[in-house]
Amino acid sequence: MPTILFEVHEPGVALLTINRPQARNALTWEAMQAFARAIEAAHLQPDLRALVITGAGGAFCAGGDLFELDGFPTRADGARLSSIMGQALERLEALPFPTIAAMEGPAFGGGAEVALACDLRVMAHDARLGLMHVRLAICPAWGGGQRLLRMVGYARALEWLAAGRVLSAEACADFGLANRVVPSGEALAQALHLAGEFAARAPAALRAVKRLLRAGLTLPADQALAAERAEFPDLWAGDEHLRASARFVAARKNHKPL
């Protein structure tokens, strides 16, 4: 059975499933490499407008599989472990369309880092997120520390990482880490529904929205504002906008609901 499943679930929406439910979807070397390949496959799908990442069997991802990884104790092994998924999550973050983590059960250690590398998170009531690396005398290595810092600020990120804190879905929502908290068993359905909403929008506009917001994370304010303004003229003159605008005007002239 493949450790990572990747499929186009519906037009414009892909689904990546971490498929090791017997181990709460903990990642082996094979699973990490397969995950990286799946992200590259998503980059090669020109018609995709959203990607949902989830785990099989009621868990998101319990991090690295220590039953395997404990047998690789050298510094070179640590560098390899950092590199494979660190690069894969950079590529996940670089996808030009929205990505959504659909989270049931635990997202611990590296699993929390995968969730934080997604643009949005839909969490079931029973989902938990914990960057618990310090409990194993290590730190995040796949970018989770930097992403958490951007999301919640230095003081909270330091407290949570240094204590190995585990957060409930409700706490994640309170701190802006979860976009939605839904009943247990419904995270995937709700995430796919949200992805479908994205897929219904004009692709060029959808990608521009992600680019301009990411510019605000990495560029000085004046450059980010300039990047946002630069997105607009081509969209304004584009066929999709012209058709949408014409429909809007025609509907108003005929007093029809949009």
Phi, psi of 153 (to 5 degrees): 90, 165
Residue 46 C-alpha from the chain's centroid:
19
Q: Give 204-219 pLDDT, tens digit per residue.
A: 999 999 999 999 999 9
Confidence band, pLDDT 50/70/90 cuts, at residue 100: very high
Taking residues 241-253, what's their average pLDDT?
A: 91
Residue for token pair 């990286």: 36
Domain architecture of the chain: domains with CATH: 4-199 (3.90.226.10), 203-253 (1.10.12)
Based on the number of CB atoms within 10 Å of its own CB, is 20 exposed (0-12), middle (13-18) or buried (19 or more)? buried
Residue 240 has pLDDT above 70, yes or no: yes
Question: pTM, whole model, 2 decimals?
Answer: 0.95
| Dihedral sign computed on CA atoms, order 24, 33, 69, 86 | negative
Whether the CA torsion 15, 19, 24, 27 is positive or negative: it is negative
The secondary element (H helix, E strand) that includes residue 108 is strand 106-108
pLDDT band at 252 (very low <50, low <70, confident <90, very high): confident
pLDDT tens, residue by residue, 24-79? 999 999 999 999 999 999 999 999 999 999 999 999 999 999 999 999 999 999 99
Identify the band that residue 256 occupies on the pLDDT scale cut at 50, 70 and 90: low
